Amino acid sequence: MSVLRLLPKRWRERIRNYAPRGFPDSPSCGAFYDARARLFRDDEAASLEYSSLGVQRRIFARAVDALPPHGRVLDVGCGLAHLHDYIIDREFPIASYHGIDVSAAMLDAASQRIGGRENVSFEQRDLATRPMESSSYDVAYVISVLGYPIGRDPMASMLSLLRSALDACADGLVFTHVMDGRSNRTLAFPTDPDRLAEECALVLGADATIFDNGEDFTYLMRLRKSSKR
């Protein structure tokens, strides 16, 4: 049982809703999620900072519409690896699933859930500083991972991670980001979809497509290695 159960409800809510302004580097971000994974081990949505697992599944649905899972799937910042379950439930024909995360506690929990399954593997890795072999996966998903500013130049940190993820894929990737103006939440690192798509094209040389349903503050972007490169 989590120690949170011993606290009054309003304290639990305050801890659940606590969001830092950013992190100096990705290991600190990992430490934050380590703490959440341990504190909220009875509440998976809370540990992942989703308001509910229904919200998470709606984002997964948008992600697989934008880029259907196939072949070797890389889940960057996999958390509890719920994306794996979603892909299997929807019967996408994948060959393997590899989840990476900077948080050891998230990976422990994910491995306990589904670690024994065939063609499922996990690894503690910060993709921004430890890239993977080029085209060693077919598709990658980076879902609800990039919402906090990291380091002194958050845009450069985000693009560096996306560069590594895109290079690791033979086909392409989908990532999520957040925009201002559609939520009363204070977002730590909002971006403008058109401007971010331009940056991805310019800096990563990627073909970038925005997927925005006009309602949510979360939007998605699909990146493919540009045919012009």
Ligand X SMILES: C[S@@+](CC[C@H](N)C(=O)[O-])C[C@H]1O[C@@H](n2cnc3c(N)ncnc32)[C@H](O)[C@@H]1O
Give me the phi and psi of 180, to 5 degrees please. -75, 160
Tell me the window of 6-14, 22-30, 111-119, 181-189 that interacts with ligand X (CB under 6 A): 22-30
161 near ligand X, judged by CB under 6 A: yes
CB 25 within 8 A of CB 183: no
144 near ligand X, judged by CB under 6 A: yes
69 near ligand X, judged by CB under 6 A: no
Q: For ligand X, how many residues bind (rule: CB under 6 A)?
A: 24
Nearer to ligand X, 150 or 197 (CB): 150
Tell me the window of 10-18, 48-56, 89-97, 203-211 that interacts with ligand X (CB under 6 A): 48-56
Q: CB 52 → ligand X: shortest distance, Å?
A: 12
- Using CB under 6 A as the criterion, what x/- string covers residues 79-118 for binding ligand X? x--x-----------------xxxx--x------------
| Footprint of ligand X (CB under 6 A) | 26, 29-30, 33, 48-49, 56, 76-79, 82, 100-103, 106, 126-128, 143-145, 161
